[in-house]
Amino acid sequence: MSARVLTVILNWRTPEMTLQAAETAVAAMTGVEGGIIIVDNDSGDGSEAQIRAGVAARGWDRVQVLQAGRNGGFGAGNNVGIRAGLPGGQLPDYVYLLNSDAFPAPETITRLRDHLDAHPRLGMAGGYVGGPDGVPHQTLFRFPSIASEFEGAARTGPVTRLLRRHVVPLPIPQVPVSPADWSAGCSLMLRQQMLDQIGLFDETFFLYFEETDLCRRAAGAGWGLDYLRDAPVVHIGSESTGMKRWARTPGYWFDSRWHYFRKHHGRSGAVFATLSHLAGGLLHRMRAALSGGAVGDPPHFLKDLARHMLRQGKGG
């Protein structure tokens, strides 16, 4: 019997696009044992009924629709689908996470599954992600650190060259297979055996850093992650989160960032990481002021970051 795959698609107020993602997933699951679960994250806008009707109209007997019952964020919503398992309560061998605005090629799921089958110490596999315009998306990263916070905020050539081994975004590989610390969860296959060992998503994260945390826990337990150039997905990006339209960075981003650093580096590490980011950000703003360039951050970002750190300090 071949390995069974459970594809999980999380919907938040994008029912038409979710059905499009499900349609490409159904095609990519051809010849693959398993099923597809669409989880509505308590959209409250009629999404669930619209998706159920769309699934029924298309006759997708491999697709199940679930209601999360609350909007606990990306990790919590995906956990609902992962815990449900395959129809009949069976556990899959692999869980494939697919964003509602991501569309896998017909061969993508099979290639990810086969790669994990061939490498039993790999816990995860992701593939090439690009936009509808053909522009590659940044999806491979190193784990964040205190040094990377300074480099990423400073955004200046000399600092980046000095701290090149701490730069979080990794170049998009041109080789068929390449390892990475962590990958974006818009198209990511997870080994069920790994999840059984390390647990599911930490639901303290509402949005952002949840994939980073999961991959870090996996790495700590000895599980690797590979990137496959020939497992492509078209990804629109930020349709549910509205990140492209942010007028100001939301509080949950700061909460998630703080939780990640405190969890993996301790409270002092979270403080030093924030101070490092603030220092790098100030350096960047000085250079922008001298050169007349744009800062590039949402309004009040550094002030909001500093205030969040002070609030966390008061809270113990």
Domain ranges across the chain? 5-136+172-241, 245-314
Q: Are the beta carbons of 80 and 39 closer than 8 angstroms?
A: yes
Distance (Å, rounded) from C-alpha 50 to C-alpha 44?
A: 12
> Model-level pTM?
0.95
Mean pLDDT computed over 108-129: 98
* pLDDT per position as a tens digit, 1-48: 689 999 999 999 999 999 999 999 999 999 999 999 999 999 999 999
* pLDDT per position as a tens digit, 258-314: 999 999 999 999 999 999 999 999 999 999 999 999 999 999 999 999 999 999 977
Lowest model confidence (mean pLDDT) among 170-179, 225-234, 237-246: 237-246
Q: Are the beta carbons of 121 and 33 closer than 8 angstroms?
A: no
Is the confidence at residue 88, as pLDDT, over 90? no
Distance (Å, rounded) from C-alpha 130 to C-alpha 165?
A: 25
Mean pLDDT computed over 72-101: 95
Q: Are the beta carbons of 11 and 40 closer than 8 angstroms?
A: yes
Band (pLDDT 50/70/90 cuts) for residue 110 is: very high
Instruction: Check residue 242 and give its pLDDT.
Output: 54
Instruction: Check residue 241 and give its pLDDT.
Output: 53
Closest among 221, 145, 212 to 183, alpha carbons compared: 212
- Length of the chain, in residues: 316
Is the confidence at residue 134, as pLDDT, over 70? yes
What six digits make up the tokens of 240? Answer: 């549910």
Domain spanning 5-136+172-241, CATH class: alpha beta
Is the confidence at residue 316, as pLDDT, over 70? no
Closest among 278, 246, 261, 248 to 312, alpha carbons compared: 261
* pLDDT per position as a tens digit, 248-269: 999 999 999 999 999 999 999 9
CB-side neighbour CA atoms (13 Å) of 218: 30
